Each structure stands twice: as structure tokens, then as C-alpha cells.
Amino acid sequence: MLKVLVVLGTRPEAIKMAPLVKELEKYPRQIRCKVAVTAQHREMLDQVLNLFNIVPDYDLNIMRHGQDLFTITGRVLAGMREILETDRPGLVLVHGDTTTTFVAALAAFYMQIPVGHVEAGLRTGHKYSPFPEELNRHLTGVLADRHFAPTGTALDNLLKEGVPRENILVTGNTVIDALQATVKTDFVFADPVLRRIDYDRRRVLLVTTHRRENLGAPLRSVYLAFKEIVQAYDDVEIVFPVHKNPEVRRRVEEVLAGAPRVHLLEPLDYEPFVNVMQRSYLVLTDSGGLQEEAPALGKPVLVLRDTTERPEAVAAGTVLVVGTATETVASEIRRLLDDAGHYRRMAGAVNPYGDGRAAKRIAGAILYWFGFADRLPEEYR
């Protein structure tokens, strides 16, 4: 019996690990799967755990309002020590690029417990962009023993860094597994604001922002572009579930409070969120996960950052990296609102990120690597 400990801290880790937790639970004779949450996020994490019916076996409850990287790092490291000493898992699984991810992997390394890294190998090549995620992911890769690369590009990045091919499986991204299970054409919104919008007659711009390197002036600059757009186009509605980071909220209030047809909402549950995305015209974001979800739904994305670690949908033409300057953001939005040909070219649904079977492949590889299966699953292409 292999004891697997899945470690999560934030909303996106929970969304993307939920399909894997469910899959690992299908092998009770080979795998005992437990879930540890650091709760680097609290409400935004709990929303997802509730939706997917995941009850954590351990909960470090580390979140503090306005926390910084030192606090998160110290609290996760100390907390993971206790969990690992009590639980003694045979494999720790972490996801992506958060500080929870990196520090949980570090704790497992200190205890000489093997680490599997889900969503491994994404790179921008810029140390401070995204910050601190680029190095969190890189360092986790150095600590990890097994790497689940979502795409061929991520595989190539790992090979270039010297990771042995036999320790990597190309799986697709579990975000597509979660998305396919959640988007429904007949979804009815409980939120009165979302229910009232006429998605056929209005053009909905779905917005999220939270990157640390965008806090302050860059956020102000993109919000000014949004304000200009709603003033110029009266068929545009902005749906903006505002991240709980107090720095984000301060800027949103400062620039967008009271702007016409700008709906500032609390973070939405994953279900209404992806269903509003499905009904949107365009997505404006600095998020990582949205760059994977929106192309799968055929929604153009303007990325409010200078770099991306997800080049596949940029190459496919669905995603454009536009930075944070007011003029550029506003003019790229205008182009998508005014030029039907340009919109159509960007809105072709592409799905370079997965086929909905990533969790199955990851579980299959774990079974193989730990001696419960005689071959590796076919890779995602």
C-alpha cells in the first residue's frame, strides 16, 4: 500500500488537484490518499473543497490577512514538518508554482520523502515574472523526483534542465478535467447580478487580477483602460470577481467603484465562474489558470502581464500578451470589440492543454512507478 499525501494551499491548486484526488481514491487497495491543506488561502480554498467534496485530513490554517512571502514560507515549513512526521507518506504530491508548492516540496525533501510535481516544467525564463511563481516552480522541479508535465513544451523545458526522461510523463493539464466536469450549457446562476445579464445582447468582459508584480501602479493602469472601455461601449458589461488580496481591492475601489456596467463581485465559486466564462465575449486576466480554461471554451484572452509561461495558446492565436499599459490594453480590447474578423480569428476554440484524462494518466504513472502496474499510461499529445 502506497501512502500518498496531496498538499494544497490556494484556490487554483485545489481546482487542479481535485480531479486527481478523486482518481487516486479509485485505487483503495494500492493507494491510501490523504489531503493536507496549508490554507494559504482560506475562503477561496474552502469554496473549491466544498464543491468537490474534499475533506482535508490535515489543515494548517496558515492564512493571515496581508501575508508576505516570509510568513507563508515559515508557517508552511513548520506545519508540514509536523504533518510529515505524523503521517510518514511514501509520496508527496504538489501542484504548480505557489509558495505552498515549493515549501511543501522542500519539507518532503528534508524528510527524504519522494515528491511528485503536477503541472511541472512551465517556464517564462524571467526570474521575477511571474514573481515568485517562476522560481517556485523551478525550485519545486529541482526538489521533485517525478514530474507530470502538462504539455510537450513543458517536457522540453524539463529535458533542457537535465531532468531524466524516464522521470517525466506528459499528461495534459488536470484543469481541463475539472473544466469538462463543470461547464454546463443550461447552468442557472444563483447570483442575481449574473442572472440578470442578457448574455446574447451584451458583450461580457470577464476580468480577474491578482499577480504580485501587478499590485499597485500596473493594476491602476489596467483598471483605467477598463473604465475607458465601458464609457465608450454601452453594450459592454464587465464581470469582475475581485480577488481577496486587500492590495487588489484597494486599487479596484480607487479606480472602478461606481463605473457604469462594471460588476464588482466577491470571488465566485468555480461552477458559476467557469459558466460565466462560457457566456463571456472576452477574458482579461493576469491569472495562469484562465489562460488554459478560456481557450478551451473558445474565448479570446488578453493577458495583463509582460510574460507568460503558457505559450501554447499564444501560438494558437487565442491568447495575446498585452502588458499593463492603459493605452495598449484599451486598444487591444477595442480591436476585439470592433473588428469581427480579428475576434473570429482569436475565438477559434483550441485546446493545447489537455483532453480531460490528465488525472487518469497521473494516477496510472504513480501505480507504475510504485510497482502496482506493468506499464506507463500513453502520454498526452
User: Could you tell me the smallest distance in angstroms from the CB atom of residue 12 to ligand UD1?
Assistant: 5
DSSP β-bridge partners for residue 205? 238, 282
CA angle 268, 269, 274 (to 5 degrees): 85
Residue with cell 504548480: 96
Beta carbons within 8 Å of 65's beta carbon, 6+ residues apart: 246
Longest distance between any two alpha carbons in the chain, whole Å? 62
246 binds, among ligand UDP, ligand UD1, none (CB under 5 to 8 A by kind): ligand UD1
98 scored as a contact of ligand UD1 (CB under 6 A):
yes
Instruction: Indicate which residue of 126, 203, 212, 342 is catalytic.
Output: 212
244 scored as a contact of ligand UD1 (CB under 6 A):
yes
C-alpha cell at 83: 504533518
Pick between residue 11 and residue 310 the one whose CB is nearest to ligand UD1: 11
Specify the stretch interacting with ligand UDP by CB under 6 A; choose among 11-19, 119-127, 157-165, 362-370. 11-19
254 catalytic residue (yes or no):
no
43 scored as a contact of ligand UD1 (CB under 6 A):
yes
Pick between residue 27 and residue 270 the one whose CB is nearest to ligand UDP: 270
41 binds, among ligand UD1, ligand UDP, none (CB under 5 to 8 A by kind): ligand UD1
Q: Which letter, b or e, does each residue of 170-200 get, where b requires 16 or more Cβ atoms within 10 Å of its Cβ? A: bbbbbbbbbbeebbeeeeebebeebeebeee
Residue with cell 495562469: 288
267 scored as a contact of ligand UDP (CB under 6 A):
yes
210 catalytic residue (yes or no):
yes
166 catalytic residue (yes or no):
no
75 scored as a contact of ligand UD1 (CB under 6 A):
no
Tell me which long-range contacts 314-322 makes (C-beta under 8 A, separation of at least 24): 315/352, 316/348, 316/350, 316/352, 317/345, 317/346, 317/348, 317/350, 318/294, 318/346, 318/347, 318/348, 318/349, 318/350, 319/291, 319/294, 319/295, 320/346
Short-list 34, 33, 44, 36, CA closest to 10: 44
User: Could you tell me the smallest distance in angstroms from the CB atom of residue 118 to ligand UDP?
Assistant: 13
133 catalytic residue (yes or no):
yes
Residue with cell 490577512: 65
Give Cα 99 distance to the centre of its chain.
14
Contact 101, 137 (CB under 8 A): yes
Contact 141, 112 (CB under 8 A): no
User: What does 306-365 look like in DSSP terms, one character per residue?
Assistant: S--S--HHHHHTSEEE--S-HHHHHHHHHHHHH-HHHHHHHHS---TT--S-HHHHHHHH
Instruction: Indicate which residue of 210, 261, 310, 361 is catalytic.
Output: 210
Specify the stretch interacting with ligand UDP by CB under 6 A; choose among 31-39, 289-297, 301-309, 338-346. 289-297
246 scored as a contact of ligand UD1 (CB under 6 A):
yes
Specify the stretch interacting with ligand UD1 by CB under 6 A; choose among 121-129, 240-248, 256-264, 332-340. 240-248
Pick between residue 69 and residue 111 the one whose CB is nearest to ligand UD1: 69
366 binds, among ligand UDP, ligand UD1, none (CB under 5 to 8 A by kind): none
66 scored as a contact of ligand UD1 (CB under 6 A):
yes
x-or-dash pattern for ligand UDP, window 226-255, by CB under 6 A?
---------------x--------------
Active site residues: 97, 119, 133, 210, 212, 243
Q: Which residues bind ligand UD1 (CB under 6 A)?
A: 10-12, 40-45, 63-67, 69, 72, 97-99, 132-133, 210, 244-246
Q: Which residues bind ligand UDP (CB under 6 A)?
A: 11-12, 15, 175, 208, 210, 241, 267-268, 270, 273-274, 287-290, 293
